[in-house]
């Protein structure tokens, strides 16, 4: 099956463990990708049904082929995961079951990284695309062609935490006046030119922060995540578990803040009796962020940056 054999789900066993707390119900895999996590969940729990969400229709096609053997225990939705509330309602109607778990494995998928023509990787020459949904209009090339120096600086600094954001942005605008930037290696060359030699010796590939920033901007990732997390919590039935795997600090910061707020009472500290409406909605299931162990790091280097956080919904707002 083309595309699926190379996919190694990050922290698969831990995700399955957390999402198997209730052995019967609906699990929503909000970032389906090639379906590796969904496959492990379905294999481990014969009474669970999985709904897979992805904005990439090719990922849906490959995952559907991979998981066809599970029949009506697997359903797909071509959308972004901020629509998770609608997906949950549809699955309750289809399956007649509670939503007992949600998984969000954030960032770019293995398939998207490995397909050079998608333009996510700075290691190979490709068109400056970076769209997770190939039908959307905004690409990395269109941002680089139209954004001002100030806009590019903010993008690189905010989404990539790039120290030399202004220098790189100014050079991009200068270069595009001569010829449009259309390929990843053209962008990498500009970034290398702008970063001092001393800064290239540490911190990995010099283009990684700018590429991250462009990918986040093209796909509106942080806005979608910030809107999706509260909706995911609302979509869960009481007792359900939400697991989120983040791959960069900006994502993890949003997850941490939302989880902490949900696990904290909103009542004044000196209130002798806490009303039901002020009690925490969530229980933290992880102490801080969990990381991949040494064995997984050796087998799957892409697991190195992952930060896994999980919560259980313990109270409804209604």
- Which residues sit in the known binding site? 35-37, 54, 81, 105, 112
User: Is there a contact between 238 and 315 (Cβ–Cβ < 8 Å)?
Assistant: yes
Tokens representing 145? 């062609």
- Beta carbons within 8 Å of 206's beta carbon, 6+ residues apart: 191, 192, 195, 199, 200
Assess contact for 297 and 220: CB atoms under 8 A: no
At CA 279, angle to CA 103 and CA 254, rounded to 5?
A: 40
Residue 56, token pair as written in the block? 């990439």
Q: What is the chain's Cα-based Rg? A: 21
Residue pair 231/292 in contact (Cβ under 8 Å)? The answer is no
Cβ contacts of 293-300, under 8 Å, gap ≥ 24? 296/10, 296/11, 299/8, 300/8, 300/10
Joined tokens for residue 60 = 């849906």
As annotated, the binding site for S-adenosyl-L-methionine includes 35-37, 54, 81, 105, 112
């Amino acid at each position: 099956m083309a595309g699926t054999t190379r996919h190694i789900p990050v922290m698969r066993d831990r995700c399955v463990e957390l999402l198997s707390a209730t052995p019967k119900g609906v699990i929503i895999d909000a970032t389906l990708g090639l379906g590796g996590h969904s496959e492990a969940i379905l294999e481990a729990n014969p009474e669970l049904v999985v709904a897979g969400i992805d904005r990439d229709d090719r990922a849906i096609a490959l995952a559907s082929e991979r998981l066809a053997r599970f029949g009506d225990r697997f359903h797909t939705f071509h959308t972004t995961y901020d629509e998770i509330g609608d997906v949950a309602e549809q699955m309750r109607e289809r399956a007649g079951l509670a939503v007992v778990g949600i998984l969000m494995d954030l960032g770019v998928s293995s398939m998207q990284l490995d397909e050079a023509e998608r333009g996510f990787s700075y290691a190979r020459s490709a068109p400056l695309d970076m769209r997770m949904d190939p039908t959307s209009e905004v690409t990395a090339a269109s941002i680089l062609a139209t954004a001002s120096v100030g806009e590019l600086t903010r993008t690189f600094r905010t989404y990539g935490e790039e120290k030399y954001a202004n220098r790189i942005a100014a050079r991009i605008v200068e270069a595009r006046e001569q010829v449009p930037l259309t390929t990843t290696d053209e962008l990498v060359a500009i970034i290398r030119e702008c970063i001092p030699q001393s800064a290239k010796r540490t911190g990995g590939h010099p283009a990684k922060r700018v590429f991250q920033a462009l990918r986040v901007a093209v796909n509106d990732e942080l806005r979608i995540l910030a809107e999706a997390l509260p909706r995911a919590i609302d979509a869960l039935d009481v007792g359900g578990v939400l697991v989120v795997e983040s791959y960069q600090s900006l994502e993890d910061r949003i997850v941490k803040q939302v989880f902490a707020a949900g696990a904290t009472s909103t009542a004044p500290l000196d209130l002798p009796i806490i009303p039901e409406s002020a009690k925490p909605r969530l229980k933290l299931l992880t102490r801080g962020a969990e990381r991949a162990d040494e064995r997984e790091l050796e087998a799957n280097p892409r697991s190195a940056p992952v930060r896994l956080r999980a919560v259980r919904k313990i109270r409804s707002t209604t």
